[in-house]
Chains A and B, each alone.
Chain A
Amino acid sequence: MAFISSGYNPDKPMENRITDIGPKHYSEFLPPVIKNNRGKWLWHEILEPGVLMHKAESGDEVYTVRAGAPRIMSVETLREALDIADKHCDGYLRFTTRNNIEFMVDSKDKVGPLKDDLNSRKHTGGSFKFPVGGTGAGITNIVHTQGWIHCHTPATDASGTVKVVLDDLFEEFQQMRMPAQIRISMACCLNMCGAVHCSDIAILGYHRKPPIIDHKEVDNLCEIPLAIAACPTAAIRPAKVELDDPKTGEKKSYKTVAIKNERCMFCGNCYTMCPALPLTDAKGDGLVIMAGGKVSNRISNPKFSKVVVAFIPNETPRWPTLAKTIRKIVEAYAKGARKYERVGDWAERIGWERFFEACDLEFTHHLIDDFRDPAYYTWRQTTNFKF
């Protein structure tokens, strides 16, 4: 493995350096039918699950075939997507906010071969590479975070939990029988890289044990005042402990921190500031399920997701309880909600007491908010409730 230079000279880093140029202008990447009709679209229609047609004032039509893809993607698979775009779409494609790939063609007769091509490609293990779907009143791709593949704070894996849930709900990705779209999101810790806090259904990794304090390392690895300031509940204070010095065998006083465990909300913010305070724990870590959030302003205001299941353990590799619980929510919603009603709108209409009944979920004390002032506004201040 010989090092091959790009032309960069480490002795003169500023030589020919190019910085702050930003991304390329998007106009270089627009398919001709898009470029020609930009700003002049009249209406659209979903011809079948996964296939959209947009009509322009000029009479032009663009047909979009949407395919699911995992967020983790190798360049080998990406190159295959590019081959498909070269073969069918004059060398253009785009990605959606929810990690789907959109292949666009300018006439209807090109849709069938493109769709067949996408659906025909499978991995050696048998899964689809580019399944067509993810439109309309159905379940599209789950946006997610890194998990055990690449992050330092996760309480679960992201790609794995998403894979098992989408395996279970796969037919919903390929059809449109729901009252409205169901947006599912996954975040592997409370940092929530992604909008899981406003999703119809959210899967969230959660720690349940306070940090382990690596007393001998706290002062070496961390700025103690920053670790203290990082705690949202002021559970961390400076401390000194007497421990054996590994070099001398004598007692030595170490500058460290003490944590009031009963105040810890397990957010991991201290760990982000101080690597000597790890949280991860096989028995402590697992999943929370939230429901009823949305970002659209349609009919009702955007709303946050609510915690509906306080804890599901990390049942690797296929998280059966997670998949089963989400399936229960989806089926109850499909059965009970009115056309156009999102999960949160449905829950609010029937009442949350009915939501738990309909979804066959247990209501436990964990689901009652006790975090600061907003908690009060979630308690029931009326006699209007259902038995």
Chain B
Amino acid sequence: MPKHETPLLDQLESGPWPSFVSDLKRQSESRHAKENEIEYQVPVDVCDDLLGVVELSYKEKEVHWKHGGIVGVFGYGGGVIGRYCDQPDQFPGVAHFHTMRVNQPSAKFYNTEFLRNICDLWDFRGSGITNMHGSTGDIVLLGTRTEQLEEIFFELTHKFNTDLGGSGSNLRTPEACLGISRCEWACYDSQELCHHLTLAYQDELHRPAFPYKFKFKFDGCPNGCVASIARSDLSFIGTWRDEIRIDQEAVAAYVGGEIKPNGGAHAGKDWGPFDIQKEVIGLCPTECMWMEGGNLKINDKECTRCMHCLNVMPRALRIGNDRGLSILAGAKAPILDGAQMGSLLVPFVKAEEPYEEIHELIENVWDWWMEEGKNRERLGETMKRMGFQKLLEVTGIKPMPQHVQEPRTNPYIFWKEEEVPGGFERDIADYRSRHQK
């Protein structure tokens, strides 16, 4: 007999997509089955009460979790999110149900030994419910009690050599695509840069000193598989500045229908024979490609590296050799002032250890934002309020047409005094000597 009847949630057990309800029930059954073997450190019926409170929300269509409350581990200001149920008498197992964010290894590759240890720890000291992974990228452990937080942190650091991620007004856990580990399009080692900066900025990650959250994300190419351009205050996107490498024989094989376009991604529908003119050359946004004597030609100088032709013909076209990354600043979701996309700040920088130029840029941005940013203001909002010119000024970057979609349509230029010969201080008597009242 389940502790709580869940007639509404039960209707989410049917259908083919993996059911989180079945999964929660599975965890509940496992806890009860092993009750005599394992000295569970949070109530054995934690999953039953979780199902119960969620069922109540399904019935009432209102949430039953309260505000955070300040809980954490000693010396850190992030990594733990306090959570309490607003019906603790009905659902005592989840009266305290705090989240811990564990910093994932770059690009989320694991061996089973590491994850088994996390499973055992979380089964023993928490609810056994996780997110693999949270939106920012952490392993999210959902549901434990305050007295377990230090114990879990101690085991994570001492036994598993791993650490908590970020939360609150600090550097959030950085995230990268899998990059050169398994992708032919990665223009820099996104995993390594992510790991390097995560370690370099542990203090910023664990101890909130910023106006608001700050995110780094690392995409190996302009396809943007971790969506850095949409959701990170500093977005690192791989690119190149020389020529796309062309294998003309492979081009011919695509044209001849021997290789499926786009890696076979469209195999589920008959789109007709591959037409390089229509599908590649005609869709090139800069019209910088053409066929000449059976060979594909590219005017690389005009290419904006949108990736379409490479995506369609991965066996014929490869990224250039002079690789690095572009840095865009200020992306965020709509809260508060509307959504913002990242704006191009650094068109190209080499991504080579020890990444000195990248460190310098990050620290200049932070110094400015920490000085000027208002409470709960993201970098993108500070940029909007103070102007892109200001960001260029504090980062020492020379303005260039690449920074804008188009030049301004109003002439309301805030000229600085030092830009205008003679400055702003003038003598009215001198003026009147030439102009009568």
Contact = CB atoms under 8 A, between A and B. Distances in A.
Chain B binds chain A: yes
Interface of A: 1-8, 10, 13-14, 16-26, 28-31, 34, 38-39, 41-49, 52, 54, 62, 64, 68-79, 82, 85-86, 91-97, 99, 101, 104, 123-131, 135-138, 143, 145-146, 148-154, 157, 159-160, 163-164, 166-167, 170, 173, 175-178, 181, 187, 190-198, 226, 229-230, 232, 267, 269, 275, 280-282, 285, 295-300, 302, 304, 314, 316-318, 339-340, 371-372, 374
Contacts of A31: 109
A28 B111 contact: yes
Contact of A97 (B17, B116, B177, B279): B177
B308 A197 contact: no
Contacts of B128: 74-76
B378 interface: no
Given A22-B202, A143-B135, A340-B308, A296 B224 contact: yes
A370 to B, nearest CB: 12
A197 B62 contact: no
B265 A24 contact: no
Given A42-B184, A76-B27, A30 B20 contact: no
B27 A232 contact: no
15 contacts: A1-B40, A22-B199, A22-B202, A26-B106, A42-B318, A49-B267, A54-B183, A69-B132, A73-B131, A73-B132, A86-B112, A91-B113, A123-B18, A124-B26, A170-B16
Nearest to B165: A23
B334 A190 contact: yes
Contacts of A22: 103, 163, 195, 198-199, 202, 205
Contacts of A298: 222-223, 306-308, 311
Interface in B1-49: 8-27, 30, 39-41, 43-44, 47
B151 A269 contact: no
A69 B103 contact: no
Given A23-B163, A85-B112, A131 B57 contact: no
Contacts of B108: 94-96
Looking at chain A's contact residues, the main secondary structure is loop
A23 B106 contact: yes
Contact of B158 (A7, A159, A193): A7
Contacts of A54: 182-184
Which 8 interchain pairs have the tightest Cβ spacing?
A125-B13, A136-B265, A167-B15, A123-B22, A74-B27, A177-B268, A192-B333, A20-B202
Given A64-B182, A123-B19, A150-B142, 8 more contacts: A10-B150, A18-B158, A49-B268, A92-B112, A99-B132, A167-B17, A173-B17, A280-B63
A34 B279 contact: no
B96 interface: no
Contacts of A79: 116, 119
Contacts of B64: 148
B39 A1 contact: yes
A123 B26 contact: yes
Nearest to B285: A299
A70 B66 contact: no
B23 A74 contact: yes
Interface string B135-176: 111000011000100111111011011110000000000010
A25 B118 CA distance: 16
Contacts of B39: 1-2, 4
Contacts of A129: 18
Interface stretch (B68-76, B294-302, B352-360, B390-398): B68-76
Contacts of B177: 97
B321 interface: no
Contact of B17 (A28, A85, A163): A163
Contacts of B21: 125
Interface stretch (B336-344, B363-371, B427-435): B336-344
Contact of B222 (A41, A123, A296, A339): A296
Interface string B202-236: 11011000000000000000111111111100000
Interface in B374-392: 375-376
Contacts of B376: 229-230
B425 interface: no
Given A299-B308, A317-B11, A138 B54 contact: no
A92 B103 CA distance: 18
Interface string B312-354: 1011001000000000000001111111010000000000000
B385 to A, nearest CB: 13
Contacts of B115: 78, 82
B114 to A, nearest CB: 7
A137 B41 CA distance: 46
Contacts of A92: 109-112
B30 A76 contact: yes
A23 B130 contact: no
A148 B112 contact: no
Contact of B14 (A46, A125, A226): A125
A275 B151 contact: no
Nearest to A72: B20
Contact of B19 (A24, A70, A285): A70
A135 B265 contact: yes
B16 A131 contact: yes
